[in-house]
Amino acid sequence: MSDSKIDILLLGAGGREHALLTKLAESPRAGKLWVAPGNGGMYAIAERAGINQNSPVEVADFARKQGIGLVVIGPEAPLVEGVADAVRSAGVACFGPNASAARMEGSKKFAKQVMARAGVPTAAWRSFTDEQSCADYVKRIGGPCVVKADGLAAGKGVIVASTTDEALDGVHECFSGHFGEAGSTVVIEETLEGPECSLLALTDGHTLVPLATSQDHKRALDGDKGPNTGGMGVYSPVPLVTDEELSAMIAIEQRVVDELNSEGITYSGCLYGGFMLTKDGPKVLEFNARFGDPETQVVLPRMRGDLLEAFLACDNGTLSPDMVSWDDDWAVSVVLTSAGYPGKYETGKPITGIENAEKLEGVTVYHAGTALSDDGQLVTAGGRVLDVTAVADTFDDARKQAYAACDLINFEGKTFRHDIGMKAILGRQNL
C-alpha cells in the first residue's frame, strides 16, 4: 500500500457529497480536495472546480490537467452521462460505475431485465412506451400499483397509487412530459408490503462488500404523511432486519454484480439496493448506481476504515472485506428543510447555530442546500438544507442528540420531521 498523497475531485453538491468528502478527508493519503460544484459547507475543506459535473469532457480534462488521482462521482446524472468512462479513459482512477453499469439506475426496465436474468426477487412488472396501452393495462389490473418513469427523474418519477384513478393520473403525468425524456417509457409494478430497508455495498465488479443497513423516511410530514421527498431523515443500523434477511439482501446484490459481469459489464462503485421486507423475504424495490442520500449521512460516520483506499480498490479490482468494519454504535440524521419543500420554497435565508450544534457530542452537520452569499454569510440554497447527524452508543442517545442539535440551528422557515427513527423504537409488529 502506497503512502503517497492523492488529490481528489468529488462531483456533487448535496449532503451525501459532504459526508463523502468528510470521510475521504480523514484518509492519511488525502491530498488537495476539489469539488464540483460543492456547497457552502464543502468549501471549508475543498476548493471549487469551475466545471460542469455532467460533462465527461470537462471532468476528464480537469482531472488530467490538475493531476487528480481519484475522481469520486456522487450523483447519478454524471454516471449515466458516461463521466466515469471518460475519466478512466484519461488514465485517472474513478469511483463510480461506467455508463453501461449505471443503467441499473438510469433505466428501470433495464434493471428489471437484469434482475429477471439473475433470479432476483422483485415486484411483478410490465413496461410500456405509449400511454393508451399502459392505461389499458392499469385499468385491467386496477389499483393499488406503482407507476415509474423509466429514466432519471431526480427521485420524483415514482407514483405509489392506491387506486386505479391515481395510477391513471400517474401514467398521464409520465407520458405528458412532466418528467421529460425519463417518462417516455413507463414501468407498472405490483405493490409490495412490508418495511423498507436500504443496503449500500462497495464492489469492484467481482467482490461485494456490504455496508450497514439504513432506513430512510421519504414522506414530508410526521407519521409518514404528505408528499414524497428526497428523504427527511434516516437511521442506521435497522434493528427490524433479521440476520436471515440481511444475508438474503447481500446475496441478491452479489447475484446482480455477477450477472452483469457475465454479460460483459463490470460494475465498479457503490450498488444501492432498496428492499421491501415482505412476508416472502426481501424483494428489490429499486437499484441505484451510487451512494444514497440521506443514507450516506448515517452509514459513513459509523464506518471504520480508509474510504479513499476502499474507493481505489473498487477501481483497480482489489477490494476486500477487511477494508471495512463496524462498531456497535447507532446513527440518526434529521433533515432540516425550507418551508414548502418538496413544493415551492424560498432561498437565501441566513443560517446560524451550526457551530453550537456541532459542539454536542457525536454531532456532525452535513450541508445539502447551502451556499455562501457575496459577503460570506451561510444561507439556504435548496429544499433540503442540512443533515443533522448524531452518532452514539445507543439508539435513544443518538436520536436525542440529533434533535437537540436541530434545536440549536436556525433559519427562517426551518422545518423537519419530529418522528425520525420511531419505526425502530416501535418494532416491526407495529408498522
Kindly list the domain boundaries of the chain, sorted by start residue. 7-98, 126-189, 196-430
Q: Which fold has domain 126-189?
A: Dna Ligase; domain 1 (3.30.1490)
Alpha-carbon distance 248 to 271, whole Å? 15
Q: For residue 38, which of 57, 14, 9, 8 has the smallest C-alpha distance?
A: 14
Return phi, psi of residue 401, to 5°. -65, -40
Alpha-carbon distance 39 to 37, whole Å? 7
Q: For residue 131, which of 87, 184, 70 has the smallest C-alpha distance?
A: 184
Q: Which fold has domain 7-98?
A: Rossmann fold (3.40.50)
Residue 153 has a pLDDT of 82
The three three-digit cell numbers of residue 122, written as one number:
422483485
Asked if residue 239 has a cis previous peptide bond (ω within 30° of 0), the answer is no
List CB contacts of 215: < 8 A, sequence separation 6 or more. Answer: 195, 196, 197, 198, 234, 235, 236, 238, 240, 423, 424
Question: What's the half-sphere exposure (Cβ side, CA atoms, 13 Å) at 97?
Answer: 31
The three three-digit cell numbers of residue 72, written as one number:
469520486
Residue 417 has a pLDDT of 98
CA-to-CA separations, 84 to 197, 209, 351, in angstroms, rounded: 28, 21, 35
Residue owning grid cell 438474503: 248
Q: What string of H, E and C letters represents the secondary structure of 139-173?
A: HHHCCCEEEEECCCCCCCCEEEECCHHHHHHHHHH
CA-to-CA separations, 100 to 38, 61, 77, 291, in angstroms, rounded: 26, 21, 13, 18
Q: Could you say which architecture CATH assigns to the domain 196-430? A: 2-Layer Sandwich (3.30)
Q: Tell how strand 303-304 and strand 325-326 pair up.
A: antiparallel
First CA to last CA distance, the chain: 47
Residue 103 has a pLDDT of 97
Residue type, 48: R
Strand ranges of the sheet holding 363-367, from the earlier edge strand across to the other edge: 281-288, 269-278, 196-203, 208-216, 233-236, 330-337, 384-392, 363-367
Residue 154 has a pLDDT of 74
Residue type, 3: D
Residue 428 has a pLDDT of 64
Residue 429 has a pLDDT of 59
Look at the pTM and tell me if it is higher than 0.85.
Answer: yes
For the chain, 431 residues long, the average pLDDT of each consecutive 10-residue run is: 88 98 98 98 97 98 98 97 98 98 96 97 95 95 92 83 94 92 93 94 98 95 90 96 97 98 98 96 96 98 98 98 96 98 96 98 98 96 98 97 98 98 75 49
Judge whether 7-98 and 196-430 match in fold.
Answer: no
- Confirm if 271 and 256 have CB atoms less than 8 A apart: yes
Query: Could you give the angle at the alpha carbon of 209 between the alpha carbons of 205 and 213, nearest 5°?
Result: 130
Q: Tell how strand 30-37 and strand 6-12 pair up.
A: parallel
